[in-house]
């Protein structure tokens, strides 16, 4: 059984994510997951077996804060050094249109094994555009509410009280998104090649043409080559 499609370097490949995007994504993933597991220990309580891994409940609180600072550094790194990419990402999200809506409607059928015809997609497909809007919004809420909870004495009491449910709800929404996203970006048959785009930076040209036809034509097509 093969979990992720084989990495093929004997076929034409095209760049999908540069080094800054990849470092930011995986650095953020590691620190996010550390925050998640240590946060769950504090949230659930009574999970001694999980708390032991992080040196008990106090240890989990400490690792949570260290990972939170690490996550903040990754976000700043990605924003400063990947500013152009960030703007291009936002511009792509603003292109959300009919083809993205059709993608979102048809993808569940494809997921269940039905044969469907997905219209051409830009750099990020309709689902990825949705993920790009919901998950980063939740992460921003986690960061803001997290620092308010960390330094309660410098914020109004009402804001500190509001920060707790905000942090918990953002954790729940982002975790649901990350579970779906992690599967679709790795093991899901058909979309697994995207993993190599985020891991090594490139994807197979034929995969890019098939999954992101508009992006491929605009970036690597004949018109783009002529410009």
| Residues lying near ligand HEM in the complex (CB under 6 A) | 16, 25, 28-29, 32, 35-36, 39-40, 42-43, 61, 64, 68, 71-72, 124, 128, 131-132, 135-136, 139, 142-143, 146-147, 149-150, 164, 167-168, 171, 174-175, 178, 181-182, 185-186, 194-195, 197-198
Using the minimum distance from each CB to ligand HEM, give the nearer residue, 56 or 226: 56
Q: Rounded to the nearest whole angstrom, what is the least distance from the CB of residue 226 to ligand HEM in the complex? A: 26
CA distance 95 to 126: 10
Complete DSSP assignment for the chain:
--SSPPP-SSS-EEE-S-HHHHHHHHHHHHHHHHHHHHHHHHHH---HHHHHHTTHHHHHHHHHHHHHHHHHHHHHHHHHHTHHHHHHHHHHHTT--HHHHHHHHHHHHHHTT----PPP--SS-HHHHHHHHHHHHHHHHHHHHHHHHHSGGGS-HHHHHHHHHHHHHHHHHHHHHHHHHHHHTTTSTTTTHHHHHHHTSEEEHHHHHHHSHHHHHHHHSHHHHH-
Using the minimum distance from each CB to ligand HEM, give the nearer residue, 72 or 214: 72
- What is the token pair recorded at 95? 């292109």
C-beta of residue 64 within 8 angstroms of C-beta of residue 38: yes
Q: Rounded to the nearest whole angstrom, what is the least distance from the CB of residue 1 to ligand HEM in the complex? A: 18
Q: Rounded to the nearest whole angstrom, what is the least distance from the CB of residue 22 to ligand HEM in the complex? A: 9
C-beta of residue 18 within 8 angstroms of C-beta of residue 86: no
Using the minimum distance from each CB to ligand HEM, give the nearer residue, 29 or 219: 29
Chain residue whose CB lies nearest ligand HEM: 146
Using the minimum distance from each CB to ligand HEM, give the nearer residue, 119 or 226: 119
Q: Rounded to the nearest whole angstrom, what is the least distance from the CB of residue 139 to ligand HEM in the complex? A: 6
Q: Rounded to the nearest whole angstrom, what is the least distance from the CB of residue 222 to ligand HEM in the complex? A: 23
Q: Rounded to the nearest whole angstrom, what is the least distance from the CB of residue 114 to ligand HEM in the complex? A: 22
Using the minimum distance from each CB to ligand HEM, give the nearer residue, 28 or 204: 28
Using the minimum distance from each CB to ligand HEM, give the nearer residue, 6 or 227: 6
């Amino acid at each position: 059984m093969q979990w992720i499609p084989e990495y093929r370097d004997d076929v034409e490949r095209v760049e999908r994510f540069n080094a800054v995007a990849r470092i930011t994504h995986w650095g953020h993933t590691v620190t996010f997951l550390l925050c998640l597991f240590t946060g769950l220990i504090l949230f659930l309580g009574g999970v001694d077996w999980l708390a032991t891994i992080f040196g008990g409940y106090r240890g989990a609180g400490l690792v949570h804060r260290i990972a939170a600072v690490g996550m903040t550094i990754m976000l700043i790194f990605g924003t400063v050094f990947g500013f152009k990419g960030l703007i291009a990402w936002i511009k792509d999200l603003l292109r959300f249109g009919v083809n993205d809506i059709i993608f979102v409607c048809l993808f569940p059928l494809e997921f269940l094994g039905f044969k469907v015809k997905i219209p051409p997609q830009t750099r990020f497909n309709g689902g990825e555009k949705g993920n790009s809007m919901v998950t980063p919004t939740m992460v921003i809420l986690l960061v803001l509410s997290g620092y308010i909870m960390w330094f309660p004495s410098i914020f109004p009491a009402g804001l500190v009280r509001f920060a707790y449910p905000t942090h918990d709800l953002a954790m729940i929404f982002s975790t649901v998104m990350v579970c779906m996203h992690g599967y679709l970006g790795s093991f899901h048959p058909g979309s697994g090649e995207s993993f190599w785009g985020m891991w090594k930076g490139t994807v197979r040209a034929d995969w890019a043409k098939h999954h992101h036809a508009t992006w491929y034509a605009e970036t690597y097509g004949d018109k783009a080559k002529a410009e």
